[in-house]
């Protein structure tokens, strides 16, 4: 019975392949017939009908056939150029010659094909979506060389921006996650003119959609917009603008798509237009992760992002940590003045800081911010004391970051050594004057306290932590500790390191080494015991 079923399945598969092959041959023959003679023009309806089929292979075959047919017609100037009226009105008109009527007829079929392919960008099957996308981009490339509309040549040259706008509108779906299709579209974003008009289309689409929805949070739509925008990067030099889908001529040197400043201006407008609307917290994190190296360097005025960064910094938690990267770039590279920055940084030091995903990035940036020797002593002492207090409940992996971090602060600011040497407090049970709940580092009384918490960690259960805490008993060397080596340390890696055998020679435990069970050591066990 199983063999009969298997034979039926094989037979069915062969039949399907034969049908697909036959359909492909039929479509190709119809395309060849249409291109050979205008009397076969009506066969185009069969191709368009196949394009609306429910079978994936048939739709893909029809898309390839349409690509070959209409690209050939476009290149051969067999499609009507100019503004079309209604097809019924044109059919009733006797003004056109037969050749002109053929071009009008095929132009309408081309429009129907494009509309169907645009609909297929929302198809359930990815194979159909990908095939439709590639076919539409082929049409765009050929339309660029053989435009069908009278465009504003001085501003847009002959680029088919309406077709690109339609494609972008479908990619930015409000209901369907198009991340996979957008990743396929990334290939076309490498072309400078395509990238320019995609950015322009995103600006228009976001403004229209978000206005219609009154700026409400739309997770799927905003995710699609972010996915598409995050795949866009602007060249660093104008000489790199060389890859164009529509080849420009010297006389079109005023075309905006060939100017780097225009790319940066549009890139900036695109991101600012997207980020001015309310985003879910997950989107804040995605944007902030790439902001410092993928967005700010490509903007003509990076300081315009200050409003977004300050609002993100005020949210708290992991989002505030991630906002530090962007603020760091603006403060150090663009001379941004940010009031109460260190006060807000101080208040980010909470127990959760040791358990978030972006812990390493936070301590790296905090180390940079606190590296200046011009910071007031009270501020550095407040950071050192707060970290020491948090260390009492921190996991070992975090302690191996915090302790060197505190030591580096003391090395940079010798005045903070008063936190270590408190002769009057030794041997006495005194109340710690440090105010953990005080938000202002100038009022927390850190300088009046001591780092007794580190003394407590000298009895920590983990030997590496206890060893690091013992360093405070001796004069700290001038050379700062490199914390970059431990920033990414995980609990798993720490356990693996502890479980590794020591790099020492084997220690002899007996006079004679045992070679097998119950043998060795003079064979005393073998004489008195057996396994029977």
Residues 145 and 133 in one domain: yes
**Domain-embedded: residue 300:** no
Among residues of the chain, what percentage have pLDDT more than 90?
A: 37
**Domain-embedded: residue 294:** no
Contacting residues for 234 by C-beta, under 8 A, at least 6 apart = 195, 260, 263, 264, 267, 298
367 vs 390: CA distance, rounded Å: 17
pLDDT at position 516:
64
Residues 110 and 169 in one domain: no
pLDDT at position 10:
42
Is residue 171 pLDDT above 80, yes or no? yes
Residues 116 and 226 in one domain: no
Structural domain range at position 197: 151-279
**Domain-embedded: residue 324:** no
Which pair of structure tokens corresponds to residue 306? 């200050």
Exposed/middle/buried for residue 162 (C-beta within 10 Å: 0-12, 13-18, 19+): middle
DSSP structural state of residue 414: G
Which residue's entry shows tokens 């403060």? Answer: 331
DSSP structural state of residue 480: P
Longest distance between any two alpha carbons in the chain, whole Å? 120
Question: pLDDT for 46-61, tens place per residue?
Answer: 999 999 998 899 999 9
Structurally, the chain folds into a number of domains equal to 3
97 vs 81: CA distance, rounded Å: 15
Q: Are the C-beta atoms of 338 and 377 separated by less than 8 Å?
A: no
pLDDT at position 5:
46
Question: pLDDT for 332-341, tens place per residue?
Answer: 888 877 778 8
Question: pLDDT for 121-133, tens place per residue?
Answer: 999 999 999 999 9
Question: pLDDT for 215-255, tens place per residue?
Answer: 888 999 999 999 999 999 898 888 888 888 887 664 456 77
Backbone torsions φ then ψ of 190, nearest 5 degrees: -70, -15
Is residue 320 pLDDT above 70, yes or no? yes
pLDDT at position 128:
94
**Domain-embedded: residue 120:** yes
Residues 358 and 256 in one domain: no
If you average pLDDT over residues 345-355, what whole number do you get? 88
36 vs 28: CA distance, rounded Å: 12
Exposed/middle/buried for residue 477 (C-beta within 10 Å: 0-12, 13-18, 19+): exposed
Is residue 19 pLDDT above 60, yes or no? no
Which residue's entry shows tokens 């706008």? Answer: 165
Residues 358 and 498 in one domain: yes
Is residue 88 pLDDT above 60, yes or no? no
Residues 115 and 161 in one domain: no
Contacting residues for 131 by C-beta, under 8 A, at least 6 apart = 59, 60, 63, 64, 120
298 vs 111: CA distance, rounded Å: 37
**Domain-embedded: residue 59:** yes
Burial code (b: 16+ CB inside 10 Å, e: under 16) for 291-317 equals bbeebbebbbebeebeebbeebbeeee
Name the domain boundary from 150, 179, 214.
150
What count of Cα atoms within 13 Å lies in the side-chain half-sphere of residue 267? 26
More confident of the two residues 480 and 427? 480
If you average pLDDT over residues 84-93, what whole number do you get? 58
Residues 268 and 185 in one domain: yes
Q: Is 517 helix (H, G, I), strand (E, B) or coil?
A: coil
Handedness of CA 232, 236, 237, 243 (dihedral sign): negative
């Amino acid at each position: 019975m199983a063999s009969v079923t298997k034979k039926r399945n094989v037979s069915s598969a062969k039949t399907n392949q034969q049908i697909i092959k036959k359909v492909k041959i039929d479509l190709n023959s119809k395309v060849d017939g249409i291109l050979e003679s205008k009397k076969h023009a009506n066969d185009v309806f069969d191709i368009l009908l196949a394009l609306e089929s429910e079978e994936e292979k048939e739709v893909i075959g029809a898309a390839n056939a349409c690509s070959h047919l209409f690209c050939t017609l476009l290149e051969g100037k067999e499609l009507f150029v100019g503004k079309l009226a209604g097809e019924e009105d044109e059919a009733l008109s006797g003004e056109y010659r037969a050749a002109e009527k053929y071009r009008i007829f095929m132009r309408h079929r081309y429009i129907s094909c494009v509309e169907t392919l645009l609909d297929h960008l929302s198809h359930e099957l990815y194979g159909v979506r990908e095939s439709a996308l590639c076919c539409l981009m082929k049409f765009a490339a050929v339309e660029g060389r053989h435009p069908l509309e009278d465009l504003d040549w001085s501003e847009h040259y002959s680029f088919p921006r309406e077709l690109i706008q339609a494609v972008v509108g479908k990619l930015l779906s409000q209901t369907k996650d198009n991340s996979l299709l957008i990743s396929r579209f990334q290939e076309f974003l490498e072309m400078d003119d395509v990238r320019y008009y995609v950015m322009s289309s995103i600006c228009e689409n976001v403004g229209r959609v978000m206005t219609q929805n009154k700026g409400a949070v739309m997770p799927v739509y905003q995710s699609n917009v972010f996915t598409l925008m995050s795949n866009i990067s602007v060249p660093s030099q104008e000489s790199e603008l060389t890859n164009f889908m529509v080849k420009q001529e010297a006389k079109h040197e005023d075309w905006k798509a060939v100017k780097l400043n225009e790319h940066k201006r549009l890139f900036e407008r695109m991101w600012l237009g997207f980020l001015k609307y309310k985003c879910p917290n997950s989107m804040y994190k995605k944007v902030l992760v790439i902001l410092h190296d993928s967005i700010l360097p490509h903007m003509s005025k990076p300081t315009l992002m200050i409003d977004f960064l300050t609002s993100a910094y005020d949210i708290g938690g992991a989002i505030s940590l991630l906002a530090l990267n962007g603020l760091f770039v603006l403060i150090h590279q663009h001379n941004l003045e940010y009031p109460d920055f260190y006060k807000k940084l101080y208040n980010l030091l909470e127990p959760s800081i040791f358990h978030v995903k972006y812990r390493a990035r936070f301590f790296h940036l905090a180390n940079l911010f606190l590296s200046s020797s011009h910071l007031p002593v009270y501020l550095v002492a407040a950071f050192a004391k707060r970290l020491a207090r948090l260390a009492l409940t921190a996991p070992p992996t975090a302690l191996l970051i915090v302790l060197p971090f505190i030591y580096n602060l003391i090395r940079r600011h010798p005045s903070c050594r008063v936190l270590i040497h408190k002769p009057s407090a030794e041997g006495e049970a005194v109340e710690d004057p440090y105010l953990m709940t005080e938000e202002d580092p100038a009022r927390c009384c850190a300088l009046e306290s001591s780092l007794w918490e580190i003394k407590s960690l000298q009895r920590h259960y983990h030997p590496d932590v206890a060893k690091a805490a013992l360093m405070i008993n001796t004069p700290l060397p001038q050379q700062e500790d490199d914390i970059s080596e431990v920033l990414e340390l995980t609990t798993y890696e720490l356990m693996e390191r502890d479980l590794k055998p020591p790099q020492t020679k084997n220690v002899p435990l007996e006079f004679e080494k045992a070679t097998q069970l119950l043998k060795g050591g003079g064979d005393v066990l073998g004489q008195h015991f057996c396994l029977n």
